């Protein structure tokens, strides 16, 4: 099997599509702050309203231990064209800020606004980190086989390609299986174009991305625990 095909398979989730379930920390560097998301952004307020309604209806119940695998699908979100939306991660290796690309992948960006507002990513780990390739996380089960309870199709733009490191892209087990698992590239990965949706780009914290890579391995098993301590959205 050629090297590029092995890498492609590694990004995909571990189990076949029909087998996917439905249902000593380093502190941030000096000067890094968690900026709270503004309460007056229309997209954020829309997501918060949807979560409140779904919670009231009993479809979201965070008291259930497995709530991260039993979520209803994200709502359609109207992003403000003049604003920039960033997905921020506080990891045990430092902070990362990623500019989302709602014009390119509005559904994927809406999904991450929704999951982040729920606190879905908090305390999840990077379960697969392949040196020279990518860091993968976002699995609610922590082993690469889980999803949030829903799946959806990819969004592809021929002008947005896996041309460099620091790109946020969606992991999947084939067409129509995007959920919550994502990966951040360490270098250009052109063989993934048209198969994995790019929906963000690192704007701050590439040193943290490199720290994640340095704790990875050729086979993907991290050499030490790598986790997301907190995720949040900023808008400006």
Catalytic residue among 74, 120, 126, 183: 183
172 part of the active site: yes
Catalytic residue among 127, 162, 196, 199: 196
Catalytic residue among 89, 128, 147, 181: 128
199 in Cβ contact with 174 (< 8 Å): no
Residues in the chain: 236
128 part of the active site: yes
Catalytic residue among 88, 136, 147, 181: 136
Identify which of 150, 124, 136 has the alpha carbon closest to the alpha carbon of residue 231.
124
Catalytic residue among 71, 124, 167, 192: 192
Q: Using DSSP, state whether 200 is helix, strand or coil.
A: strand
CA-based torsion, 172, 134, 103, 156: positive or negative: negative
How many contiguous H segments (helices) and E segments (strands) does the chain have? 4, 8
Q: Using DSSP, state whether 71 is helix, strand or coil.
A: coil
> Which residue is it, tokens 């889980």?
146
109 in Cβ contact with 101 (< 8 Å): yes
Catalytic residue among 112, 120, 121, 133: 133
Q: Cβ atoms within 10 A of the Cβ of 27, count?
A: 10
22 part of the active site: no
162 part of the active site: no
Catalytic residue among 100, 172, 199, 226: 172
DSSP 3-state helix, strand, coil percentages of the chain (rounded to 5)?
25, 20, 55
192 part of the active site: yes
Positions marked catalytic: 128, 133, 136, 172, 183, 192, 196
């Amino acid at each position: 099997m050629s090297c590029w095909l092995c890498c492609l398979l590694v990004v995909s989730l571990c189990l076949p599509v029909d087998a996917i379930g439905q249902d000593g920390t380093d502190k941030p560097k000096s000067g890094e702050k968690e900026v709270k998301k503004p309460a007056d952004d229309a997209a954020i307020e829309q997501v918060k309203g949807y979560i409140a309604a779904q919670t009231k209806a009993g479809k979201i119940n965070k008291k259930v231990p497995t709530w991260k695998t039993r979520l209803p699908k994200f709502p359609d979100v109207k992003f403000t064209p003049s604003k920039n939306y960033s997905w921020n991660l506080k990891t045990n290796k430092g902070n990362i800020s990623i500019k989302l690309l709602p014009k390119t992948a509005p559904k994927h960006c809406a999904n991450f606004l929704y999951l982040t507002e729920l606190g879905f990513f908090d305390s999840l780990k990077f379960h697969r980190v392949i040196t020279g390739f990518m860091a993968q996380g976002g699995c609610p089960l922590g082993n690469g086989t889980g999803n949030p309870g829903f799946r959806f199709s990819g969004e592809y733009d021929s002008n947005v390609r896996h041309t460099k490191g620091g790109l946020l892209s969606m992991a999947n087990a084939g067409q129509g299986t995007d959920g919550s698992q994502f990966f951040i590239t360490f270098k250009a990965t052109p063989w993934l174009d048209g198969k994995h949706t790019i929906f963000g780009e690192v704007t701050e914290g590439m040193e943290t991305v490199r720290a994640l890579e340095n704790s990875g391995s050729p086979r993907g098993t991290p050499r030490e625990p790598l986790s997301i301590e907190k995720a949040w959205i900023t808008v400006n």
